[in-house]
Amino acid sequence: MPYNASMSTVYLNGQMLPLSEAQISVLDRGFLFGDGVYEVIPVYNRRPLRLAQHLSRLNDSLNGIHLDLSIDAAGWGEIIQKVIDANQGDEQSVYLQVTRGAAEAREHAFPNKVSPTVFVMSSPIADIPAADDIRGASAVTLEDVRWSLCNLKTVALLGNVLLKQEALTRGYDEAVLVRDDYATECSASNLFMVKEGRLLTPPKSRHLLPGITRDLVVEVAREHGFEVIERDIHEAELSEADELWFTSSTKAIVPIVALNDRAVGSGEPGALWREVLSYYRDYVEKLKRGEAS
């Protein structure tokens, strides 16, 4: 049966209900101010990938915007599993969002005695393709004009949206963001560079999201003997890269084969990318069998 989003089942403030029936107040602060946070968790064979790490990042984001929530890790696990079980497909993407809730009036200051809005939904995703089925992506460097707390995964994503759209409008698949002459990340993903057999990625800071997939790529690469260096990457270095990749929860590891209309390396997905992707796919296969988390 083809996927029909309107027929999916979601969680909203303690209730499981069809997506078509889920409603929130127009005074919800997520709607009015972008006052909320979110997470995206890939699911393979109905098992969430790195759930503990995703929930830890969610908690960091909640703390970062001073939003108290009574749901603990076990409670989140139950909610997320209910949503997974209620929807089609062994491979899913779970989206959860928490906003500060709906106040009686539109005021910038935090309202008193307001219950957070908690929403969780799921949609199908494709399994991770083999290397030969991935064509690679094109990218363009753009100025990182977002705010200075990109380490918080907030729903205020207009900066990311505008940068992504600019890349698409100009005929590219993704934008590599540059702030003060240094690459930070991409519009919706983390960035890796390969140079002389070493894997480089910008260090965690408030200017980029601490990606769960990013961390897993670093982990599996190091486990298999690759040198991984977390350091600042100057914009000028990007044009000399042997390989460039971006990573995200729903797209895994994607090679960038052209940057600013110039080939990256050979202009084809690189050998180191192929190898690390195979290790990443192996990890996901272990997750499917219940041998990893």
User: Given this model, what pLDDT does residue 6 score?
Assistant: 65
Q: Distance between CA atoms of 182 and 195, rounded to whole angstroms?
A: 16
Q: Distance between CA atoms of 44 and 50, rounded to whole angstroms?
A: 11
Q: Which DSSP category does 80 fall into?
A: H
Amino acid 44 reads Y
User: Given this model, what pLDDT does residue 126 score?
Assistant: 94
Point out the residues of the chain with pLDDT beneath 50: none
Whether the CA torsion 69, 73, 78, 80 is positive or negative: it is positive
What is the separation, in whole angstroms, between the first and last Cα of the chain?
Answer: 29
Report pTM: 0.96
Nearest CA-CA partner of 10 in 83, 70, 117, 59: 83
Amino acid 135 reads R
Whether the CA torsion 138, 141, 145, 147 is positive or negative: it is positive
Q: Where in the chain is the domain with CATH 3.20.10.10?
A: 131-288
Q: Distance between CA atoms of 179 and 145, rounded to whole angstroms?
A: 8
**Torsion over CA of 33, 202, 58 and 116, rounded to 10 degrees?**
-10
Q: Where in the chain is the domain with CATH 3.30.470.10?
A: 5-124
Q: Distance between CA atoms of 207 and 159, rounded to whole angstroms?
A: 13
CATH 3.40.190.170 fits 131-288, yes or no: no
H/E run at residue 39: strand 36-44
Q: pLDDT tens digits, residue range 151-199?
A: 999 999 999 999 999 999 999 999 999 999 999 999 999 999 999 999 9
- Angstrom CA distances, 223 to 48, 133, 226, stand at 22, 25, 7
User: Given this model, what pLDDT does residue 2 score?
Assistant: 60
Q: Which residues of 255-287 are buried (b: 16+ CB within 10 A; e: fewer)?
A: bbbbbeeeebbeeebbebbbebbebbbebbeeb
**Bridge pairing between strands 137-143 and 92-99:** unpaired
Nearest CA-CA partner of 62 in 97, 13, 106, 103: 97
Nearest CA-CA partner of 194 in 258, 244, 268: 244
H/E run at residue 278: helix 271-288
Catalytic residue among 153, 164, 251, 288: 153
CATH of domain 5-124: 3.30.470.10
286 is catalytic: no
- Angstrom CA distances, 96 to 42, 65, 77, stand at 12, 16, 12
